[in-house]
Amino acid sequence: MRFTILEKIKAETPLAQLFNAYMGGLSTLEIFSTPRESMRACRVAFAAEARGQIPTLSIVGQAQRYYELTVLSNALGSLYGHIEQATELLASFYTEHGDLTAYAIANRRYMLTEYGDGEDADWQWNGIGDPDAGEGWEVTDTTDPARLAQYSLHRELARFFPDPESHGEYIGTSGPIDFHRFTVAVEHQTDFAPRKMFAAVGGVEIPMYRQDESGQLVLIPVIDQIEQELNEDVANERLTAYFNAVLNACQHLANLHATMPPDELTSYRVLHECLNNMLAVKLAAYPPF
């Protein structure tokens, strides 16, 4: 059986580490949401709830959490990929071109050569081979803005941002409110600390031990456990604050891309700087961006 819902992002950037830490904070929720029933037990449980017999642990609620966590995992993986690819595209633009027209000309030539198609005016026969057999056709040169528009940097960047027809997670698709339920769980994950869980179930503090340097088990004082939990609470609060800041930044950049003049370099520089800052998590820890 597959017991992993939340898939780690395989990258070493601070943003990947932030997203992975966020998903790590949902590990307890993941454990309680992962299906472990047989097909018979699953059928019986759903049928019982359909008849109004709601158990302490609802399989309908469990199924919803499983679906939501799967969407969350997919969303963060996709969002990270779009941020990284948009950053790489802008980096290559500044390294190889630096001029919007030069980029569009080169991109048009690459796209037509690689994938074909285009209009009749996009191709010319060089006189070599059989044109009816598709031989000797070359891409024509043009600087006409109308013909270059679909190959522009702005158009290429559009695939990383949401539009009315997009399906899935892009830069700016979702904001903090859409993750809020799970962000609260991450921020308060020490509520599931062993000390608190045992106390809640048994009504008394359960002794906790750790191994010392000699391998002997020694009692962990309750005050030390509480101090550790408080430190973790502070760390979790900062984690979720940075997470929300990234989501706010994404929505800000989506709006920037949608409203920026496609033929002015200034906005691309801002976009590139902000994307780099997101990958490095060089953002204010608290919203707004």
Q: Over the stretch 150-202, which tens digit does the pLDDT of each residue have? A: 889 999 999 999 988 888 999 999 999 999 999 999 998 765 555 445 444 45
Residue 29, CA distances (Å) to 10, 11, 19, 25 in order: 22, 24, 16, 9
The answer on pLDDT for 255 being more than 60 is: yes
Tell me the C-alpha distance between 263 and 266, whole Å: 9
Band (57; pLDDT cuts 50, 70, 90): confident
Average pLDDT over residues 259-275: 93
Strand partners, 218: 210
Taking alpha carbons only, the member of 27, 289, 10 closest to residue 182 is 27
d(CA 276, CA 157): 15
Q: Model confidence over 91-137: pLDDT tens digits? A: 999 999 888 988 988 888 777 766 666 665 665 566 566 555 555 55
DSSP H helical ranges for 97-213 = 100-115, 145-148, 153-157, 176-187, 194-202
* Token pair in block for residue 44: 């019986």
Take residue 130 and report the two structure tokens written for it: 């059989």
